[in-house]
Amino acid sequence: MQFHTAVAHAGLVRGSRTGTYPFPPQAPARAASPFSRCSILLAPGFQGALALDWRHRLPEFSTVRQAEWEIPDLDVWAQSILKAARRLPQPVVVVAQGFACLATVRAAALQPDVIAGALLTAPSDPVRLGLQEKLADLTLDLPSVLLSNEGDQELPPERAWQWALHWNSQFASLGQGAVRSGHAGWQRKPDLGFDLLEQLCRRVAAPAEAA
């Protein structure tokens, strides 16, 4: 689902000393990009992995830097996300992948006023990492979407859906894929994640614009 705004302008006729002449219509006004309403922060997963679609199509956005990409420490990663988010104009929407999804949930629980929205793509399995006790009781008090891939062997959709319920997140699926990371899903449905991100930006920007 994509969003389009059409603005029609009628031609104008203005008077002059020699009579009337057609005045060229103004160029259609473009609707502001939803991404201009918030700051996008990309949070790669273990070993710095991030779907190529995000890297190629969102190159202008900020990216979290972890000191140790090989060591998935939940609190250390959460603090890195918070540090990066504080440097950006509010509201901040985090696009996280893999282990960074878990760190984003933790970061939002630690300081809920820093992160305004989250798109959690192909999360790691909290149970396999022994983090279920730290994460099961956390509820995101912000707009969020958990985006799963039916071919993800690490966190299959049925378990991903359960974690979405835990975190009070909307659940969405990329459909069938062939690899663990969910990258195949991005190749098959490249626009779904971006449509969801646009919706998140609109949701988080609405309260700020109304204030």
Question: Which of 10-14, 25-29, 44-48, 196-200 ranks highest by mean pLDDT?
Answer: 196-200
C-alpha closest to that of 175 among 155, 189, 154, 194:
189
Beta-ladder partners of 173: 148
In one-letter notation, the amino acid at residue 84 is A
> Rounded CA gap, 78 and 105, in Å?
8
Q: Are 43 and 108 in contact (CB under 8 A)?
A: no
Each domain of the chain, given as residue ranges in start order, spans: 88-205
If we measure between CA atoms, which residue out of 87, 147, 136 comes closest to residue 115? 87
| Ranges 14-23, 129-138, 146-155, 171-180: which has the least confidence | 14-23
Neighbours of 142 (CB within 10 A): 20
Does the structure show a pLDDT above 90 at 194? no
pLDDT, tens only, 104-148 = 999 999 998 999 999 999 899 999 999 999 998 899 999 999 998
The whole-angstrom separation of Cα 57 and Cα 145 is 19
pTM reported for the whole predicted model: 0.77
Q: Tell me the C-alpha distance between 96 and 79, whole Å.
A: 14
- CATH number for region 88-205: 3.40.50.1820
- Listed in sequence order, the residues at least 6 apart from 47 whose beta carbon sits closer than 8 Å to its beta carbon are 69, 70
How many Å apart are CA 144 and CA 104, to the nearest integer? Answer: 11
Would you say the C-alpha torsion 74, 168, 181, 91 has a positive or negative sign?
negative
